[in-house]
Amino acid sequence: MNNQKATTAQVTSLPTAPRGKLRVWVAMLCAAAYFVAYLDRVNVSVLIADPVFTKVFGIAKDKAAQGLLMSVFLFAYGVSCFLAGPLIERFGAKKSFVVGLLSWALLMGVMGTLSSLAFILLCRALLGLGEAVLGPGISKLVQTWFPVQERAKANGLWYIGLQVAYIVATPLVAWWIAAIGWRGSYYILALIGLAPLILCIYCVYDHPSKHPRITTEELVYIESKPERKASAANITKTDLRFLKSSTFWYLTIAYGVANAGSWGFIAWIPSYLKSTLGFSWAAMGSLAMLPYLCGTLAVMVSTPLMDKYNRRAVFTFWGSAIFVLLTVLAMRVGSPLGAVAVLSLAYAAHGLRVPALWTILQNVTKKEQVATATGFFNGFAYVLASLTPYGVGLCFNFTGSLKTGFYFLALLSVLGFLVCIPLVRQRM
């Protein structure tokens, strides 16, 4: 791993934004890919609140089995990330994305035809395998297409893409289920998955210099970032030297516990709103949007500040601390609407963490390492996250309350808060 993170002086000395905005299209592809991926993931959290779906698969009274639908995807995704990074370094982000995006659409269509728990678990695992290109590929594109002073905003844009998916997924999938049934919701998601595939084929190139419509000014601006001055390495060889860096492991642990908390939250918030707080199906669909709307606003406000002051770890530090405090508080609020409000603010605090951690990783990792490093970074995070939906379900089976599961998520984030301290001291 390269310890030469950009200083504030380096960032401010770079050229101002030039004529040409092709890198914006790259950012839009990243946002669209994450939007579709998270629609495909979050739909399960709505489906397990649907009694027709759980009855078909024989899991109506087994919360742990319901959580397993999310956990098997996350585990397969996490393990596959370790392999996806080296593959992207070899074959490029564009080819990897085309194969991945096509597989997502096909698998969503297949799952709409199934009635066997074993087969839908298999398809969920295969979906995780196909989506493993997402994190390493996007990290490669962001590092290649954006100078240091724009990276937090670029990472913020794809993060907003997934947050928008959270915002619209619950009411949309709930509405589709009510209108055409849970099988029809899968078919709609398969069609939506074709949009980023088309965008990737026609708009994305692995390197700015290969784009036929790029202006000279934009190319010079992109290649002005400090990492471009380092000597090139043989990118056909997997470079694992980042594994020796303590900074890499601080980042990875911080992201792992943040991701675990996030996926436990995502998997169970519809059921918590409906079963524990007593909201109707229609109210649940609307109220489930609020945490993700708050998270989106938090990212929109915070990422320009991260780039302006060239400080990201501080946002992760405080985001972790506030997430812990507000999640615990939400479980103790007597009013259902008050609990939703506090949970929404807790998720907004979580929104500060992800763009910051990804930007730090891209800033301290060499260009020939970034996809592989992101694969390990993402893989560890999702293997850990795979335990949480199932774990929250087990907490319910043992205690009869989803609140114990949310306390478990808050406890995990305490570790994320602690490992951010060295990153803050290093002024990352």
> Which DSSP letter does residue 275 get?
I
Decide if 378 contacts 37 (C-beta within 8 A).
Answer: no
CA 63 to chain CA centroid, Å, is: 24
Whole-prediction pTM value?
A: 0.70
Q: Which amino acid, one-letter code, is at 80?
A: S
Tens-of-pLDDT digits for all 428 residues of the chain?
A: 544 444 444 444 445 555 568 888 888 888 888 898 888 877 887 888 788 998 999 888 887 788 788 788 888 888 888 888 888 888 888 888 899 899 999 999 999 998 899 999 999 999 989 988 888 888 888 888 888 888 888 888 888 887 788 778 777 888 888 899 999 999 999 999 898 888 888 888 888 888 888 888 888 888 765 444 444 444 446 677 888 888 889 998 898 888 888 877 777 777 788 778 878 766 776 787 788 888 888 888 888 888 888 888 888 889 888 988 998 998 888 888 888 889 889 988 888 888 888 888 888 888 778 878 888 888 888 888 777 777 777 777 788 777 888 888 888 888 887 888 888 888 87
Decide if 97 contacts 33 (C-beta within 8 A).
Answer: yes
Q: Print burial letters for 32-63: b (CB count within 10 Å at least 16), e (below 16).
A: bbbbbbbbbbbbbbbbbbbeebbebbebeeeb
**20-208+241-425, CATH topology level:** Growth Hormone; Chain: A; (1.20.1250)
List the chain domain ranges: 20-208+241-425
